[in-house]
Structure 1
Amino acid sequence: MHEDAERCARAVRSKDARFDGWFFTGVLTTGIYCRPSCPVAPPKVENMRFYPSAAAAQQAGFRACKRCRPDASPGSPLWNHRADAVAKAMRMIADGVVDREGVPGLAAGLGYSVRQLERLLLAELGAGPLALARAQRAQTARLLIETTSLPMAEVAQAAGFASVRAFNETVREVFALSPTDLRARRGPVPEAPGALSLRLPFRAPLCPDNLFGHLAATGVPGVEEWRDGAYRRTLRLPHGHGVVSLSPRPDHVACRLSLGDLRDLSIAIARCRRLLDLDADPVAVDDQLRADPLLAPVVDRAPGRRVPGTVDAAEFAVRALLGQQVSTAAARTHAARLVTAVGDPVEDVGLTHLFPTPRALAELDPAVLAVPASRRTAFRALVTALADGSLDLGVGADWDKARADLLALPGIGPWTVEVVAMRALGDPDAFIPTDLGVRVAARTLGLPGTPAALVRRAQAWRPWRAYAVQYLWATGDHAVNRLPA
Structure 2
Amino acid sequence: MAVALEFRPPFEPGIFDFLSARAVAGVEEATSTSYARTLSLPGGHGWFKLVWDGSRLLLEHEVEDVADVPALVSRVRHLFNLDHDPAAADAALAKDPLLAERIAKLPGIRLPGCVDPAEILLRAMVGQQITVAAATTALRQLAVLGTSSRLPQGTLTRFFPTPAQLAMGGRLILRGPQRRIDSILAVAGMLAGGGLRIDASDTPETLAEKLLPLPGIGPWTVGYVSMRVLANSDVFLPTDAAVRNGYGVLRGDTLAQARTIKSPVLARMAEPLRPWRSYATLHFWRVSGEK
- Per the normalisation by structure 1, the TM-score is 0.56
Residue number in structure 2 paired with 1:451: 263
CA distance in 1: counterparts of 2:39 and 2:251, whole angstroms: 42
Check whether the contact 1:441–1:472 (CA below 8 A) recurs between aligned residues. Answer: yes
SS at match of 2:225: helix
Give deviations 1:227-260, integer Å, cap 9, x for gaps.
Answer: 6952111111111121111111333310001111
Matches of 2:250 and 2:44, distance apart in 1: 47
Work out whether 1:460 is the aligned partner of 2:272.
yes
CA distance in 2, matches of 1:363, 1:386: 12
- Amino acid of the residue matched to residue 155 of structure 2? G
Q: Distance in 2 between matches of 1:453 and 1:261?
A: 52
Contact 2:33 2:53 in 1 (8 A): no
Q: Does 1:358 align with 2:168?
A: no
1:478: how far off? Answer: 5.0
Match of 1:376 among 181, 185, 206: 181
Q: Does 1:238 align with 2:42?
A: yes
Q: Separation in 2 of the partners of 1:376 and 1:301? A: 41
Correspondence for 2:147 among 334, 344, 353: 344
Distance in structure 2 (CA, Å) of the matches to 1:348 and 1:372: 36
Deviation per CA, 1:63-93: give whole Å up to 9, x if none. Answer: xxxxxxxxxxxxxxxxxxxxxxxxxxxxxxx
Matched with 1:175 is: none
Which residue number in structure 2 is paired with residue 105 of structure 1? none
1:364 CA displacement: 2.4
Answer whether contact 1:307 1:466 (CA < 8 A) is retained: yes
Aligned length: 282
CA distance in 2, matches of 1:214, 1:458: 22
1:384: how far off?
1.8
Q: Which residue of 2 is the match for residue 401 of structure 1?
A: 206
SS of the counterpart of 2:289?
Answer: coil
- Partner-residue secondary structure (3-state), 1:409: coil
Q: Does 1:223 align with 2:27?
A: yes
Contact residue 8 and residue 82 of structure 2 kept, 8 A: yes
Seen in structure 2, the aligned counterparts of structure 1 residues 289 and 297 have a Cα distance that, compared at 3 Å, is same
Report deviation, 1:420: 0.9
Who is 1:318 aligned against? Answer: 122
- Asked if the contact 1:392/1:402 (under 8 Å) is kept, the reply is no
How far 1:314 moved relative to its partner? Answer: 0.8
Q: Which amino acid aligns with 2:233?
A: P
Query: Is the contact between residue 422 and residue 431 of structure 1 (CA under 8 Å) also seen in structure 2?
Result: no
**In the alignment, structure 1 residue 272 sits paired with structure 2 residue 76:** yes
What letter matches 1:464 in structure 2?
W
Change (3 A) 1:478 1:424: farther
For residues 365 and 442 of structure 1, do their structure 2 counterparts lie closer, same or farther at Cα, with a shift above 3 Å needed? Answer: closer
After TM superposition, give the deviation of residue 368 of structure 1 in Å.
2.0
Partner of 2:54: 250
Task: Indicate the percent of aligned positions where both proteins have the same amino acid.
Answer: 39
Answer yes or no: is 1:200 the counterpart of 2:12: no
Q: How far did residue 365 of structure 1 move?
A: 4.8
Query: 2:255 maps to which residue?
Result: none
Moved over 6 A (4+): none
Give how far 1:373 is off: 0.3
What's the secondary structure of 1:291's corresponding residue?
Answer: coil
Name the structure 2 match of 1:436: 241
Any idea what SS the aligned residue of 1:352 has? strand
Structure 1 residues 367 and 229: alpha-carbon distance in aligned structure 2, compared to 1, 3 A threshold: same
- Residues 1:476 and 2:291 aligned together: no
Q: Distance in 2 between matches of 1:417 and 1:429?
A: 13
* Larger displacement relative to structure 2 (400-409 or 359-368): 359-368
CA distance in 1, matches of 2:17, 2:43: 30
Q: Which runs of 5+ in 2 are unaligned?
A: 253-257
Amino acid aligned to 1:453:
V
Closer, same or farther: CA 240–272 of 1 in aligned 2, 3 Å: same
The code of the aligned residue for 2:274 comes to R
1:435-473 CA-to-partner distances (Å, cap 9, x unmatched) read 101101111233993221221221211111111101111
SS at match of 1:255: strand
Give 1 or 2 for the bigger CA radius of gyration.
Answer: 1
Rounded to whole Å, the distance in 2 between the matches of 1:417 and 1:240 is: 30
Q: Quote the residue 1:424 is aligned against.
A: 229
2:103 aligned counterpart, secondary structure: helix
Distance in 1 (CA, whole Å) between partners of 2:131 and 2:237 is: 17
- Aligned with 1:203: secondary structure? coil
